[in-house]
Amino acid sequence: MTPPKDRHEALHRMGRSFNVREQLELREFVPRDEHYHREILLTYLRNPFLRLTDEELAEVSRVDPPALGKLIAAREVASRSLTPKYVVFCMPKSGSSFVETALEHAFQLPKVSLTSFGAANLSSWFGMNGREQELDGLAVIRAVLNSPAGFVAQHHTRYTFYLALQLRMFRITPVVTVRNIFDAVVSFDDMMRQWRSVSRKPSWMSDAQFALPDDYPDLPPERRYWLLAHSYGVWLINFYLSWKRGREQTRADWAVIRYEDHVLAPDRLVETLASHLRMSPDQRTRLAEYANRPDPDRARLNVGRRGRGAELIPESIRAFLSDYAHAFAPELDAEDLAYLVG
């Protein structure tokens, strides 16, 4: 590390650092005078990934207003928790509910929401479905403190470097679920038509973040698929690309669950999850039991037939999605492309 020339530069660089070792080294260039803890607090409130030492936490948590100090203390407690925390980051309609409930059963942990301070079903009732499912810092703190043994969560969240830093800070393990784009589109269409059959007004309040016309259920299938391809379908490709970029950036060996290779093949699912998540023999046994006999309501498995999308979606719409995916070659190699839009 190149030493900073003065206190100001050290604090500036500390405010932009996500590396804990570098943060500690930079502190050596900040004199421990009467301004030290105030400057650390201000830097902490600027940098969401600055870590406090125990001594700093004791001082900073006594700031005014007292509620701010308590929030900082709660955040630090949550970030230091060593309990198991698993999040299924998923394409919608990729078998993620099945995977998430299987992990709940295997680890005997509760399901939580990391996108809302409240319960996931009530957040949906209050109109949250249309939001991108980015992790909310306060929701993460609540989940960690309210689930002292650990938890499982499930969110439709694309990879970003910011998300990677959140996962590292709170020691969260991701599991990524994906599916062929065409099959996901027709399955999503089934779900949207079913949701629109519920008499809630306005109807778009229950929709996901992909805008649909008010008369969506009455449109011909070709038009519905065209609409989904240009919003949901593009998002799915971006989701897959983001997590592939994330694996290459972090060099992390996350479990990647393919609907066709794992959800439709429970024994392979068990093998993949057990090896990546280092399960105990009892946890693996419970996982296998659930994977082969899932709760039909909670697992939310639908038709699940491979190739249904290629049969139902017109060639012109499939060509659009294929062209979009090919724009990201060679990041998406031939195997990725064959899986996604083949």
CA distance 52 to 76: 8
**Residue 204 or residue 3, greater confidence:** 3
| Closest to 256 in 3D by CA, of 84, 91, 85 | 91
How far CA 162 is from CA of 13, 61, 167, 230, in Å, comes to 18, 25, 9, 26
Average pLDDT, integer, range 45-68: 95
Domain identity same for 70 and 89: no
Domain identity same for 124 and 251: yes
Give the percent of the chain with pLDDT over 70.
98
Q: Give the domain-ending residue among 35, 60, 79.
A: 79
Q: Tell whether 148 is covered by a domain.
A: yes
Q: Tell whether 1 is covered by a domain.
A: no
Q: Give the domain-ending residue among 79, 110, 131.
A: 79
Domain identity same for 334 and 201: yes
Task: State the pLDDT confidence band at 213, using cuts at 50, 70 and 90.
Answer: very high
Average pLDDT, integer, range 268-295: 94
Domain identity same for 163 and 24: no
Domain identity same for 183 and 239: yes
Q: Tell whether 75 is covered by a domain.
A: yes
Residue 251 CB contacts under 8 Å (≥ 6 apart), including other chains: none
For 155-164, 182-191, 296-305, which range has the lowest pLDDT when averaged over its residues? 296-305
Domain total in the chain: 2
Domain identity same for 118 and 59: no
Domain assignment of residue 218, given as a range: 85-341
Q: Tell whether 2 is covered by a domain.
A: no
Dmax (CA) for the chain in angstroms is: 71
CA distance 208 to 55: 45
Q: Tell whether 51 is covered by a domain.
A: yes
Domain identity same for 55 and 143: no
Q: Tell whether 72 is covered by a domain.
A: yes
Average pLDDT, integer, range 40-50: 97
Q: Give the domain-ending residue among 47, 79, 111.
A: 79
Average pLDDT, integer, range 305-327: 95
Domain identity same for 23 and 151: no
- Give residue 303's pLDDT: 62
Domain identity same for 90 and 173: yes
| Closest to 49 in 3D by CA, of 197, 168, 193, 195 | 168
pLDDT surpassing 70 at residue 199: no
Domain identity same for 172 and 283: yes
Domain identity same for 90 and 75: no
Quote the pTM value.
Answer: 0.94
Question: Which tens digits make up the pLDDT trace of 237-262?
Answer: 999 999 999 999 999 999 999 999 99
CATH number of the domain residue 286 falls in: 3.40.50.300
Domain identity same for 67 and 117: no
